[in-house]
Structure 1
Amino acid sequence: MATNLHNLSEYDPKSVPSAKGMRFGIVVSEWNHHITGPLLEGAQTTLLKHGVSEEDILVMTVPGSFELVFGAAQMAKSGKVDAVIAIGCVIRGDTPHFDYICEGATQGLAELNTTGDVPVIYGLLTCNNLQQAQDRAGGILGNKGDECAVTAIKMVDYKRRIKG
């Protein structure tokens, strides 16, 4: 569903399993910090709301969105987390740089999910302009960080249930 038809922060809390005892890593891009900062805050707040203790949230920064792939891979390999949330923001500019960064980061994060054993949640905003990013980082469309945290909890629960 298109984000403009659904608020990213609205969900049924009863549909989210308890996250008590789950450990989460968040890799966040320093680039566009005025956007990634609120996304990080949303993810952390939502994790805490669902029972994650502060000690079970590991936050690390990387310089930009392209580096999210390496950061997420290293965090997943560390054995310290049950899921990784990758948070970044790329805003279209005047050159094809946007396309290369978005494609590379997206493919890299997708590959981590198909080859790894730790769910990696896609929290990369790919926006045409600053307003679109602000709308998704706590603005009129909610906070993508909230949605990523809920997804991470559900994926850890899924992995636990499928492995029995």
Structure 2
Amino acid sequence: MSSANKNLSVFSTDNLPDISTRRFALVVAEWNEEVTEALFEGAYQTLLNHGAQPDHIIRANVPGSYELTTAANWLAQRADIDAVIAIGCVIQGETKHNDYINHAVAQGLTNVSLKTNKPVIFGVLTPNTQQQALDRAGGIHGNKGDEAAITAIKMLKLSELVNE
């Protein structure tokens, strides 16, 4: 189902693990700040609402979405970080820069996750317009930041199961 027909803040929260001792890093792109701040707030609040401690959540800002990969790599390598959530927004616009940036960021974050064996979550919006971004950053389609935080929590649970 496309996100045009779905509220991104509606998802199953059945059987989520205790995350009170888990540590999260949220890497936030400053480009498209109106959107990324809303995504950050959604992710941060969702983590708190599900038991994360405020002092167990680290925020790191980067200039744009392209830089998310490097910062995620640095943070994921820290022994005290359990999961990284990368938050950004690349709007289509008139050039193909979004194709190159989105592909590079998606591949880069996947590589970081595989290299560090930790969840690294793609909380990057890739809309065609500013309005579509706002609709997915707390607007009519909910907040992708909420979804990214729940994804991190669920991946930590899965990690516990497969590493028993």
Normalised by the size of structure 2, how large is the TM-score? 0.96
Residue matched to 1:30: 30
Question: Residue 13 of structure 1: SS of its match in structure 2?
Answer: coil
Residue matched to 1:93: 93
Residue matched to 2:156: 156
Q: Does 1:9 align with 2:1?
A: no
Residue matched to 1:122: 122
Residue matched to 1:139: 139
Aligned equivalents of 1:94 and 1:13: distance in 2? 39
How many percent identity over aligned positions? Answer: 48
Q: Does 1:57 align with 2:57?
A: yes
Aligned equivalents of 1:110 and 1:56: distance in 2? 23
Aligned equivalents of 1:153 and 1:131: distance in 2? 29
| 1:23-74 Cα deviation digits (max 9, x unpaired) | 1110000000100000000000000000000011011000000000001000
Instruction: Return structure 1 stretches of 4+ with deviation > 6 angstroms.
Output: none
RMSD value over aligned CA atoms?
1.1
Counting matched residue pairs gives 164
- Paired amino acid for 1:44: Y
Q: Which runs of 5+ in 1 are unaligned?
A: none
Aligned equivalents of 1:15 and 1:38: distance in 2? 27
Aligned equivalents of 2:114 and 2:144: distance in 1? 23
